[in-house]
């Protein structure tokens, strides 16, 4: 039986808050711990995000599905897991959570609570990377859900996100809510407001790529099809 919507929205808000605080906070820490070594900074940021995301999904997944990401919520609704009427509320909770998490990360590291990022990321390569990263995230999550292996999703999502930091030039944001949240921290993990439309458009395009692939790879028989099990974000950051 699904939990009441207010409970699920609280879980999505808190999980998104912790996700943004994790990504941005570990980025700030990496920048301070390893000044001048961008490769090591990225490794530290990726490792912290991968293991932290695994833990966050375990905490909040049983309550809300652990989406923390509007594209995950939309695809879950496409496959008749999350009711469509709940998608806007989930997305709002996710965006507010990620913005709050960015502010919290700034405060924890004694920076201005709100600092608008100046890091420009809007290039064609970054756009392609976000389509690939987001499509891959959706394939990881929903391949497991649609093949009856949803229990593996927290570990699989954490592993994929950690790897995607390195195999995509965008460092795999793969999440419109987190993309919006990262605007509010002018730090290692930030993104300039002018770059956000390119990233969000690429993330939305990934939905159109991932859904047909999932239906082809993991079709469900009409006689046995059931609502999708709770799914996890992932991500990405």
Q: In 3D, which of 64, 3, 53 has the Cα closest to residue 23? A: 53
Contact by Cβ (8 Å): 94, 105: no
Per-residue pLDDT averaged across 21-39, rounded?
95
d(CA 61, CA 11): 8
Enter the DSSP assignment of 34. S
Helix (H, G, I), strand (E, B), or coil: what is residue 196?
A: helix
CA 52 – CA 131 distance, rounded (Å): 24
pLDDT of residue 1: 77
Region 90-102: mean pLDDT is: 98
Lowest mean pLDDT among 19-23, 94-98, 185-189, 227-231: 227-231
Percentage of the residues of the chain whose pLDDT score is greater than 90: 90
* pLDDT tens per residue across span 42-67: 999 999 999 999 999 999 999 999 99
pLDDT-based confidence at residue 236 (cuts at 50, 70, 90): very low
- pLDDT for 19 equals 98
pLDDT band at residue 5 under the 50/70/90 scheme = very high
Longest CA span, the chain: 58
- Find all residues with CB under 8 Å of 104, minimum gap 6, and list them: 17, 20, 21, 25
Q: What pLDDT score was predicted for residue 2? A: 84
What is the tens place of the pLDDT at every residue in 144-200? 999 999 999 999 999 999 999 999 999 999 999 999 999 999 999 999 999 999 999
Burial class (CB in 10 A: 0-12, 13-18, 19+), 77: middle
213-227 pLDDT, tens per residue?
999 999 974 444 444
pLDDT band at 232 (very low <50, low <70, confident <90, very high): low
Residue closest to 196 by CA, chosen among 59, 101, 95 = 95
Mean pLDDT for all residues in the chain: 93
Residue 32 and residue 134: Cα distance in Å, rounded? 29
Task: Enumerate domains of the chain plus CATH numbers.
Answer: 5-217 (1.20.1080.10)
Q: Region 71-92: what's the mean pLDDT?
A: 97
121 pLDDT above the threshold of 50: yes
Q: Which of 44, 52, 92 is nearest to 68 (CA)?
A: 92
């Amino acid at each position: 039986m699904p939990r009441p919507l207010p409970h699920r929205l609280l879980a999505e808000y808190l999980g998104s808050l912790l996700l943004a605080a994790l990504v941005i906070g570990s980025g700030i820490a990496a920048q301070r711990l390893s000044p001048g070594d961008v490769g090591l900074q990225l490794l530290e940021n990726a490792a912290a995000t991968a293991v932290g995301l695994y833990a966050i999904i375990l905490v909040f997944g049983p309550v809300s599905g652990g989406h923390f990401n509007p594209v995950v919520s939309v695809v879950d609704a496409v496959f008749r897991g999350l009711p469509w009427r709940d998608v806007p509320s989930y997305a709002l909770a996710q965006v507010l959570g990620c913005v709050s998490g960015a502010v919290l990360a700034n405060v924890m590291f004694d920076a201005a609570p709100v600092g608008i990022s100046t890091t420009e990321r809007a290039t064609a390569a970054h756009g392609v990377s976000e389509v690939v990263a987001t499509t891959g995230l959706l394939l990881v999550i929903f391949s497991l859900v649609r093949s009856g292996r949803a229990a593996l999703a927290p570990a699989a999502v954490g592993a994929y996100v950690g790897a995607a930091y390195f195999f995509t030039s965008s460092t795999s944001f793969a999440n419109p809510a987190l993309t919006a949240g990262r605007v509010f921290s002018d730090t290692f993990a930030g993104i300039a407001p002018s770059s956000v439309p390119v990233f969000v458009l690429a993330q939305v395009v990934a939905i159109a790529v991932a859904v047909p692939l999932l239906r082809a790879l993991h079709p469900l028989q009409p006689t046995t099809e059931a609502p999708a099990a709770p799914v996890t974000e992932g991500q990405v950051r």
